[in-house]
Amino acid sequence: MEEPSSIQSADTHWLESIKIELAELSPLSSSWTICRVPTKLRNTNKDAYTPHIISVGPIHHEERSLKGMEAHKWRYMLSLLERTQNAVATLDACGKAILRFDNDVRASYAEWINYSNTDLAKMMLLDGCFILELLLRYSNPDPKLQSDPIFTTSWMILTLQRDLALLENQIPFFVLEWLFNFTVRRTANGLATPSLPDLALRFFRSSINNVNEETLGAGGRQNSHHLLHLIHNCYFPSSPRIETKGKRNSNNIEFIHCAAALKEAGIWFEKDDTKSLFDLEFRNGVFRIPPLRVHDSTDALFRNFIAFEQCFQESSQYITSYVLLMDRLIDTAKDVEVLERRRIVANDLGGRDDVAAMFNNICKQIVLRDFYFAGLCEQVNEYYHRRWNRYKASLKRDYCTNPWTIISLLGAFILISLTAVQTVYSVLGYYPH
């Protein structure tokens, strides 16, 4: 048996390696707003979270399939710098400033960024200048740039709108703001240029639904962490619902039935042309819903909004609540048909089965902290469970949809009434006073 002293003198290099690992641990940032999509969400639809043609920021920077856009980035950066009076001096000033932001840039990402200070600054400068020049060209098309393949290739703008709204494909908004103020605002026409948030929302407008830009306000413009967050800040209700947290927890909610079932129960759907996607209303059996256009990028946009709300605890869960409600309303193609006929859903995606499948899969693996439409569901369910409403709907559906059926029923009622009157007179005549 070995002596204790020999045991104590045994090889302890593995303990030393643990000490080294612990010493090299970098502190976690408490202010991050950009992160990888959690695996459980990504596995439900990997393509929806993955850029197709361009990488922005460090997360997808090394992917070879996205390197084709690098030449466009350099060309756009040169164009942006040439908008200023001295391109070389502007480049020097921008590079030095971005380098000073190194700690803040790294703190914006949830994971450790394995790039040197200069490499990260180069990435931020190149990506930031590309985005700004893209927004400017989109907002103010220049006839001199008709040969630009980004604008002459029909699918590229749509794909860029999609890629630049992915959670993993973001750079901090303060980088864009600083570059914008130092370059665009310093040009000869800088005073006439819209603000950066306005330029960004113009670019994304064709791919987003019913945004309420009035709710963005100064706070939303100043506190946006990246482009996805800026768009998300537009998706706010016109007014908050006053409900207790307990009732809004998903574990305590009886969700509504699908659109076809609600229609069978006598609920009438109406399109409500409000400014906010969340201004749904139910009153006296009428369910008013703002219109939603479903297209190729809808799934990716909603999924990345939801991923942001799932990861960023300070965010509201309005989008998650809305998509979950639509998932309950749309179960099959029959439900899509009900909403299409009322012009609530505009289907640019393809078949009705495609729309139903999108909503049926989009809410998998989510955790709902606070359901915004809890009170609305209570109102709809209360009406749905009243038997008299179902009887009225059945009567109207079975006997009042065809004018000839109505005429036949009316004729039968008149005939029965006349027969009853004749019977009464006959009885009275048989028993004279």
Residue type, 221: R
16: pLDDT strictly greater than 60: yes
Could you give the CA distance from residue 137 to residue 199 in angstroms, rounded to a whole number? Answer: 10
pLDDT for the residue numbered 218 = 45
Query: Which of residues 263 and 17 earns the better pLDDT score?
Result: 263
Q: How far apart are the first and last CA of the chain?
A: 129
330: pLDDT strictly greater than 70: yes
pLDDT for the residue numbered 137 = 94
pLDDT for the residue numbered 393 = 47
Please state the rounded mean pLDDT for residues 324-330. 96
Please state the rounded mean pLDDT for residues 345-362. 94
pLDDT for the residue numbered 210 = 66
The count of residues in the chain is 433
Q: What is the DSSP letter of 57?
A: S
Please state the rounded mean pLDDT for residues 134-138. 95
The answer for 382, left when phi > 0, alpha when psi is -120 to 50, beta otherwise, is alpha
Which range, of 139-143, 249-253, 286-290, 316-320, averages the lowest pLDDT? 249-253
Distances (CA, A) of 277 to 163, 319, 355: 23, 9, 18
Average of per-residue pLDDT values in the chain: 85
Q: Where are the domains of the chain?
A: 39-234, 245-298+308-389, 402-433
Q: Which two tokens stand for residue 29?
A: 């940032």
- How many C-beta atoms surround the C-beta of residue 283 within 10 A? 9
pLDDT for the residue numbered 10 = 55
- DSSP symbols for 118-167: HHHHHHHHHHHHHHHHHHHHHHS--GGGTT-HHHHSHHHHHHHHHHTT-T
**pLDDT interval class at 9 (50, 70, 90):** very low
Q: Are the CB atoms for 52 and 159 separated by under 8 Å?
A: yes
Tell me how far apart the 2 most distant CA atoms of the chain are, in Å.
Answer: 130
246: pLDDT strictly greater than 50: no
Q: What is the pLDDT of residues 283-312, one digit of tens each?
A: 999 999 999 999 999 999 999 999 999 998
Q: What is the pLDDT of residues 91-133, one digit of tens each?
A: 999 999 999 999 999 999 999 999 999 999 999 999 999 999 9
CA 131 and chain centroid, separation: 21
Q: Quick one: what percent of the chain has pLDDT higher than 70?
A: 79
Please state the rounded mean pLDDT for residues 256-283. 91
**pLDDT interval class at 280 (50, 70, 90):** very high
Strand partners, 292: 345
Could you give the CA distance from residue 195 to residue 179 in angstroms, rounded to a whole number? Answer: 13
Please state the rounded mean pLDDT for residues 337-353. 94
195: pLDDT strictly greater than 60: yes
Q: What is the pLDDT of residues 18-63, one digit of tens each?
A: 877 777 666 655 689 999 999 999 999 999 999 999 999 999 999 9
Contacts of residue 54, defined as CB under 8 A and 6 or more positions apart, other chains included, come to: 66, 69, 160, 163, 164, 169
Query: Phi/psi at 347 (nearest 5 deg)?
Result: -95, 105
Residue type, 367: V
Could you give the CA distance from residue 91 to residue 79 in angstroms, rounded to a whole number? Answer: 12
How many CA within 13 A on the CB side of residue 108?
24
